[in-house]
Amino acid sequence: MLKLEARPQPSKLLSMTSPLIALAITVVIGVLLFVFLGKDPVRGLQVFFVEPVKSLYALSELSIKATPLVLIALGLAVCFRSNVWNIGAEGQFILGALGGGWMAMQAGEPWVAPLGGGIVVLILVAGVLGGMLWAGIVALLRDRFNANEILVSLMLVYVATLLLSYLVYGPWKDPKGYNFPQTITFLADTKIPRLTSGLRANIGSLIALAAVAGFWVFLFRSYRGFQLQVGGLAPAAARYAGFSSRVALWTALLLSGGMAGLAGALEAAGPLGQLTPYVPAGYGFAAIIVAFVGRLHPVGIIFSGVLMSMFYIGGELAQSRLGLPKSLTGVFQGLLLFTLLACDTLIHYRVRWKGAAVKPASKPVAVKAQEA
Spatial separation of the C-alpha atoms in residues 340 and 344, rounded to whole Å: 6
Q: Give phi and psi for 194, each to the nearest 5.
A: -85, 155
Question: CA of 257: how far to CAs of 81, 96, 250, 252, 346, in Å?
Answer: 15, 9, 10, 9, 33
- Give the Cα-Cα-Cα angle 199, 281, 265 (nearest 5 degrees): 65
Task: Give me the pLDDT at residue 76, please.
Answer: 97
Q: Give phi and psi for 4, each to the nearest 5.
A: -90, 125
* Average pLDDT of the chain, as a whole number: 90
CA 151 to chain centroid: 17
- The angle that helices 283-293 and 89-105 make with each other, rounded to 10 degrees, is 130
| Alpha helices for 146-222 (secondary structure H) | 149-169, 204-221
Is the pLDDT at 57 greater than 90, yes or no? yes
Is the pLDDT at 370 greater than 70, yes or no? no
Task: Give me the pLDDT at residue 360, please.
Answer: 56
Q: Minimal CA–CA distance to 324: which of 335, 309, 314?
A: 314
Count how many Cα atoms sit within 13 Å of the Cα of residue 52 in the half-sphere of its side chain.
24
Counting residues of the chain whose pLDDT is more than 90, the rounded percentage is: 69
Return the C-alpha torsion angle 308, 287, 123, 57, nearest 10: 0
User: Looking only at Cα atoms, what is the longest distance across the chain?
Assistant: 110
Digit-coded pLDDT (tens) for 181-238? 999 999 888 999 999 988 999 999 999 999 999 999 999 999 999 988 888 777 777 8
Task: Give me the pLDDT at residue 366, please.
Answer: 54
- Which neighbouring-strand residues pair with 3? 352
Q: Which helix (H) or strand (E) holds 4?
A: strand 2-6
Instruction: With cut-offs at 50, 70 and 90, classify the pLDDT of residue 357.
Output: low
Is the pLDDT at 41 greater than 80, yes or no? yes
Q: Minimal CA–CA distance to 112: which of 186, 204, 194?
A: 186
Task: Give me the pLDDT at residue 34, please.
Answer: 92
Q: Minimal CA–CA distance to 91: which of 39, 149, 7, 46?
A: 149
Task: Give me the pLDDT at residue 371, please.
Answer: 58
Is the pLDDT at 295 greater than 70, yes or no? yes
Q: Give phi and psi for 279, each to the nearest 5.
A: -60, -45
Q: Minimal CA–CA distance to 135: which of 208, 84, 65, 81?
A: 84
Task: Give me the pLDDT at residue 107, please.
Answer: 84
The ranges assigned to domains in the chain are 65-310
In the predicted model, what is the mean pLDDT of residues 309-323?
A: 91
Q: Is 309 within 8 Å of 220 (Cβ atoms)?
A: no
- Which neighbouring-strand residues pair with 5? 350
Higher-confidence residue: 368 or 278? 278
Q: Is 207 within 8 Å of 259 (Cβ atoms)?
A: no
Task: Give me the pLDDT at residue 113, please.
Answer: 65
- Helix, strand counts (H, E) of the chain: 14, 2
Is the pLDDT at 356 greater than 70, yes or no? no
Amino acid at 317: L
Q: Is 68 within 8 Å of 238 (Cβ atoms)?
A: no
Q: Which helix (H) or strand (E) holds 5?
A: strand 2-6
The strand ranges marked E within 218-370 are: 349-353
Count the residues in the chain: 372
Q: 146-172 burial, b for 16+ CB within 10 Å, e for fewer?
A: eeebeebbbebbeebbebbeebbeeeb
In the predicted model, what is the mean pLDDT of residues 118-139?
A: 96
List the single range of 21-30, 78-87, 353-362 with lowest mean pLDDT: 353-362
